[in-house]
Structure 1
Amino acid sequence: MIKFRLLLWALGLMMKKGAKNNPDFQKQLEGKDFAFQIQTQDGGIVRHYVIKDQKVKSKGKAHVEPAFTISFKDAETGLGIMTAKDKNAFMKGIQDKNIVISGDFSLVMWFQGIVKYLKPKKKK
Structure 2
Amino acid sequence: MVTIPVLDVKSDPLDVLLAVIGYRLSMLASSDNSDVQELLNDKKVTIEFISEESGVARSYSFDNGKFSQQSGEAENADLTVKFKDSMTGVKLLTQGSLPAFMTAVQEKKLSIDGDYSQLMWFNKLAKHIVPPIPEEVKPYLERAKPYAYKAQKFAGHWIGVAKYKLGK
The structure that has the greater radius of gyration is: 2
- Whether 1:119 aligns to 2:150 is no
Q: Which residue of 2 aligns with 1:8?
A: 18
Distance 1:123 1:88, change over 3 A: farther
Task: Give the counterpart of 1:84 among 83, 95, 110.
Answer: 95
Query: How many residue pairs were aligned?
Result: 124
Q: Which residue of 1 aligns with 2:108?
A: 97
Q: Which residue of 2 aligns with 1:30?
A: 41
Q: Percent identity?
A: 27
Higher RCO (C-alpha under 8 Å, 6+ residues apart)? 1
CA distance in 2, matches of 1:28, 1:69: 20
Task: Give the counterpart of 1:106 among 108, 114, 117.
Answer: 117
* Aligned residue identity for 1:6: V
* Per-residue deviation, 1:86: 5.5
CA-atom RMSD in angstroms: 1.7
* Aligned residue identity for 1:34: V
After superposing on structure 2, the runs of 4+ consecutive aligned residues of structure 1 that deviate more than 4 Å are none
Q: Tell me the TM-score normalized by structure 1.
A: 0.90
* Aligned residue identity for 1:90: F
- Whether 1:52 aligns to 2:63 is yes
Q: Which has the higher helix share?
A: 2
CA distance in 2, matches of 1:122, 1:93: 30
Q: Tell me the TM-score normalized by structure 2.
A: 0.68
Structure 1 stretch displaced more, 83-92 or 102-111:
83-92
CA distance in 1, matches of 2:79, 2:134: 34
Q: Which residue of 1 aligns with 2:163?
A: none
* Aligned residue identity for 2:131: P
* Per-residue deviation, 1:77: 0.6
* Aligned residue identity for 1:10: V
